[in-house]
Every structure is written in C-alpha cells, then in structure tokens.
Amino acid sequence: MIFTGLLVGGVLGLVLQRGRFCITGAFRDLWVSGSWRWMTAFLLAIAVQAVGVTLLTATGAITPEVPTLSVVATAVGSLLFGVGIVLAGGCATGTYYRAGEGLVGSWFALIAYAGTAAASKTGVLAPVTTWIKGLWTTQLTTIPAAFGLPDWVGVLALVAAVALLVRWQLRLAADRPAVLQLAPQRTGLNHLLFERAWNPLVTGVLVGLVAIIAWPTSWASGRHDGLGITTPSSNLVGWLVTGDADRLDWGVLLVLGILLGSHLSARASGEFRVRVPSATVIRRSIAGGLLMGVGAAWAGGCSIGNALVQTSLLSWQGWTALVFQVLGVGTAAYVTLIRPRNQRRAARAAAASAASSERLGESEAAGALASR
C-alpha cells in the first residue's frame, strides 16, 4: 500500500507545477504587493481539507492525533523556516516541484533542507531540537477545544471566513481588465491540463482534495498522518545513507512522487528546462535550505505539515506556525526585496530632484543674462 504515496505525490506534483501553487509567493505577496490572491487559494486548500478530515474522522476512517503546542520551538522554528523559504526561492513542496522543473538552485536548496532536517530530527543536531521543544510546553491541542467547543464549530467558522475571502477575490477578478490570450496550440484535455493557465482558486481546491486523499491512503499503509514533507525528506536521507528499509515508507514515496510528477508535468507542458543560477543564488539557496531544515524540525512541520495539514485540524501548533512563517517571510522579503526597492525609488527621486534643480538653475541664469 505504500506505493499509493508515489501516486498521490505524482498528482500533487502535477497540480503544484501546472497551478504554479507557491506558498512562499502567497506569503510574500502579502508584504510586497498587499495581494491576497494566492493566500486566499492557500486558505481555501486548508478549508477544503478541514471539511474532508472532519468527515473522515466522523466515519472512523482516520483518527488524527493533534500535537500539543511547544511555543518557543513552533514560533522560532517557523520564523526561521519563513526566512529560509524566501532565500531558497520556494517552500518545502515548492522546492521539490521546482527541482522537477529543472531549477538547479532548488536542487541545492532541497539537499540542504533534507540533510539538515535529518540532522535535526535524528542526527547530530537532535539534542538541540529536543532542548528547544522543551523550553515552553503547553497542553493546548485544538483551538476549539481551548474554548470548550467541538471541532466542527471551528471548521464551520473557518469555511465561512474563507468563503468571504473567496467572494472578495472573485469580485476583484471580475473588475480586472481582460488579459490578451494567445491562440491555443493544443486542444481538449491537453490544452486544459498543459497549456491553459490554471485559476488559483481552482488550484487551491485541487490541493485540498489531494490532501484529503492523502489521509486514508497513508493510513492504510500504516503511516497515521496526512501530507508531510520534512519527516519524509529526513527519512529519505536516512534510507539513502544507511539503507534501512524501515525508513522507506509512504511519506518517502510521496516526496519522490512530487518530484516525478512535477518533472513529467513540466515535460508535457514544455516548461522543463535546466536552469543554472549564479553562484550568489546557489549560496542563498543553500542557506535557505539549511534554515528550512532546522526550522521545520524545531516547529514540528513545514509549510505543508504545519501550515496546510495541522491548520486543517485546527491545531494551535498549525496556526501558530502559519503566523510565524508569514512573519519570517515578511522579514526576509523586507531585507531582500522591499528595502532595496524603496532605496532604488529614493535614489531615483533624489536624482530627478537634482536634475530638476539643475534645470531650474540654468533657466534662472539664462533669464538673468537676458535681462542685462
């Protein structure tokens, strides 16, 4: 049954690649442009999965365990992870699917991320992870439970809030001017899947549906969890290094499936191309991958395990992680994008002002000569 992980990962890789579903971009747009377009798609994926998990739990198909909140580990780890995904140019799944598209920088980030995650979870850095997780522990599990409410009430509130966001985005989309479309070169399903641009909201729904399917298929294999990237990446490294077949589980096949699915999708759409970045970008990608691995290990999950899956369970860990990942992205975006942009604008404004003053001076001098 573990081979269903490869299938689910392959479908997820295709959806991510063709839908351009980038969690890093969703978080970054909040700070850089103030756009909620992709963040709404991400929250929609969470809401769809929350409904599915609630139904699966009610039928007894799965019985998810919600972790208790470790405040310092979740907050600091998620902040580091948020900074790391900006430097790496993609989150956990984003790094996998971009590696499948041929981005060499993502390969460096992926190796650093998986290696550091393994070191932090089961290797030489594991004692540090254990110490961090023990600094401030609580008994908090789900947000509704903290207020004495059943989880389904929280799910209804989440769905209602996301529905309002979706409605807002649909209105904004209706007000946008029509974009000129090139004549399609393909027809039928081939055009819809591999040529036409996918709607972000549709992509969000598809990601949520894949996340729902992941629960029973993973459960059937003996792995009692949904989508996850960090622990499977760590197990993949452990399997490659030690040959321990026990590490080769549904999750490992899931991440390999994402890589394979995104690669085949990029090939089919004509978007695959090996792109070698500059040495500066490679160094930044490695640094980002290192922060991602450490941060995700400390926080107990990445942008998928925490920000997508644990949030659908309405866990304190998931929503705390999501907030601090967004803050980490904002911090890195300010340093690498917003501040340089503001400095360039200030420099252009100063140059324009100086040029205007110079022209005014020349005009006044010419007027003085003419009046003599």
CA pair distance 338, 31, nearest whole angstrom: 8
Please tell me the predicted confidence (pLDDT) of residue 194.
85
Burial class for 36, CB neighbours closer than 10 Å (0-12, 13-18, 19+): middle
What CA–CA distances, in Å, run from 270 to 16, 22, 277, 297?
16, 19, 20, 36
* Average confidence (pLDDT) over 36-54: 98
CA pair distance 323, 337, nearest whole angstrom: 20
Q: How many domains, the chain?
A: 1
DSSP string across 291-304: HHHHHHHHHT--TT
CA pair distance 17, 267, nearest whole angstrom: 11
Contact criterion met (CB below 8 Å) for 303 and 233: no
Burial class for 347, CB neighbours closer than 10 Å (0-12, 13-18, 19+): exposed
Local confidence band at 191 (pLDDT 50, 70, 90 cut-offs): confident
Q: Which residues pair with 70 in a beta bridge?
A: 137
Please give the model's pTM, rounded to 2 decimal places: 0.93
CA pair distance 255, 233, nearest whole angstrom: 7
Which is higher by pLDDT, 235 or 363? Answer: 235
Contact criterion met (CB below 8 Å) for 42 and 211: no
Q: Give the type of residue at 106.
A: S
Please tell me the predicted confidence (pLDDT) of residue 350.
84
pLDDT higher than 70, residue 231 = yes
- For 139-190, the pLDDT digits (tens) are 999 999 999 999 999 999 999 999 999 999 999 988 888 776 777 878 788 8
Domain that residue 88 falls in? 4-177+186-371
